[in-house]
Amino acid sequence: MSVGKKMLWGGLGWVLGGPIGAILGYTLAGMSGQAGGAAYGSAYQSRAYPQTQPGDFIVSLLVLFGAVMKADKQLLKSELDYVKQFLTKQFSASQVRDFMTLFKDIIKQDYPLRDVCRQIVRSMDHPSRLELIHVLFGLSKADGHVHADEVKVIHTIARYLNINENDFNSIEAMFFRNTLSDYTILEVDPSTTDTEVKKAYRKMATKYHPDKVAHLGEDLKNLAEEKFKAVNDAYQNIKKERGMK
C-alpha cells in the first residue's frame, strides 16, 4: 500500500461507519487492496464527538462537495480544479491522487444528504461544521458564477448540520459582498449601536478563532484564518465608516 493510501486509511475514523461508510466502503476497499475495509470501519462507528481527525473532515467534505457540484446538473472542470487545489494545499501529491480517485467515485453516486449530515452532526464539533460550510461556499464561487441551486443546496446542508441562519448568512457574506456584508458577517443590524458592534465583534472573533479547529490539523487551521480575517476586516470597515475608536 502506498504512503498516500496508508494516510487515507489511517486518518479515517467515524466516517467509515453509517451512511458515509456505506458510500465509501467499496471504493476504499479497492484502494486499499483489502477485503477487510468494512470491518476496519465498524470498529470506529461509536467514536465519540468531538474526536474529528483531518481524514474524517476531508472525506466528509468530499461527500458534500459532490452534492454541491451536482446541484446545477453539471460538473465543471473549474470545480474539479478547486477540489484538487484545495487538497493540494493540505496533502502530498500521492495523497491528493488518492483523494481525487475517491472523489471521482463519490460524484458518481447518489446519497441521502440528510442522513450523511446527521452522521456528521453526531461526530463533528460545531466549529468544524462551520468550516465545512465555509469551504463549500469557496467551491460554489470557483467558476466565478454562483448558481442559485448550489447556494440552495449549501443552505440545506447548513440546516441539516444544525448551523443557524445567522451563522449561514455570516459565512455567505464573506464570499458575496454587498453594502450590508460587513454587518451580516458580524451578525448585527446596521442600526445597532457602536457598543453592540464591539460586543458582536468579540463574539464572532471567538466563534471563528482558528484554534477552534486546531484538531483538524495545521493546514486546515490556516484555512480557518480566512473566516477570522473576514471578521476582523468587517469590524475595521464598520469602525472606519462610523468613525469609531
Segment 101-124, tens digit of pLDDT: 888 888 888 788 999 999 999 989
According to the model, what pLDDT value does residue 22 have?
Answer: 80
14 plus 43 within the same structural domain: yes
Whether 169 is covered by a domain: the verdict is: no
Q: Which three cell numbers stand for residue 187?
A: 451578525
Q: Are 196 and 230 in a shared domain? A: yes
Residue 159 and residue 170 in contact, taking contact as beta carbons nearer than 8 Å? no
pLDDT at 26: 60
pLDDT tens sequence across 127-180: 999 999 999 999 988 877 777 889 999 999 999 999 999 999 999 999 988 889
How many domains, in total, are found in the chain?
2
| pLDDT score recorded for residue 107 | 87
Task: Indicate whether 181 and 157 sit together in one domain.
Answer: no
Question: What is the distance between the terminal CA atoms of the chain, rounded to a whole angstrom?
Answer: 59
* Residues 197 and 242 reside in one and the same domain: yes
**Which three cell numbers mark 200?**
458582536
Mean pLDDT of the chain: 83
pLDDT digits 0-9 by tens, 204-240: 999 999 999 988 887 788 888 999 999 999 999 999 9
54 and 146 co-located in one domain? yes
Is residue 168 assigned to a domain? no
> Which triple of cell numbers denotes residue 235?
469590524
pLDDT at 121: 94
Question: Quick check: 106 and 62 in contact, CB under 8 A?
Answer: yes
* Cα–chain center distance at 217: 14
For residue 125, is pLDDT > 50?
yes
Calculate the dihedral angle through the C-alpha atoms of 112, 116, 121, 125, rounding to the nearest 10 degrees. -150
- The pLDDT assigned to 45 comes to 41
List the domain range (segments joined by +) for residue 101. Answer: 3-163
159 and 188 share a domain? no
Going by C-alpha positions, the residue among 209, 65, 217 that lies closest to residue 137 is 65
> How far from the centroid of its chain's Cα atoms is residue 134's Cα?
6
Residue 35, SS3?
Answer: coil
The continuous run of DSSP H or E covering 58 comes out as helix 54-69
Domain-ending residue, one of 95, 128, 163:
163
The whole-angstrom separation of Cα 138 and Cα 151 is: 11
Residue position matching grid coordinates 502506498: 2
Confidence of residue 51 (pLDDT cuts 50, 70, 90): low
Percent with pLDDT over 90 in the chain: 45
Peptide bond into 50 cis (omega under 30): yes
Q: Count the Cβ atoms, other than its own, within 10 Å of residue 88.
A: 14
Q: Are residues 241 and 144 in the same domain?
A: no
Has residue 172 been placed in a domain? no
pLDDT number for residue 178: 85
* Co-location of 31 and 147 in the same domain: yes
> Quick count: other Cβ atoms within 10 Å of Cβ 34?
15
CATH of the domain at 230: 1.10.287.110
The pLDDT score that the predictor gives to residue 79 is 87
Is residue 138 within 8 A of residue 45, CB to CB? The reply is no
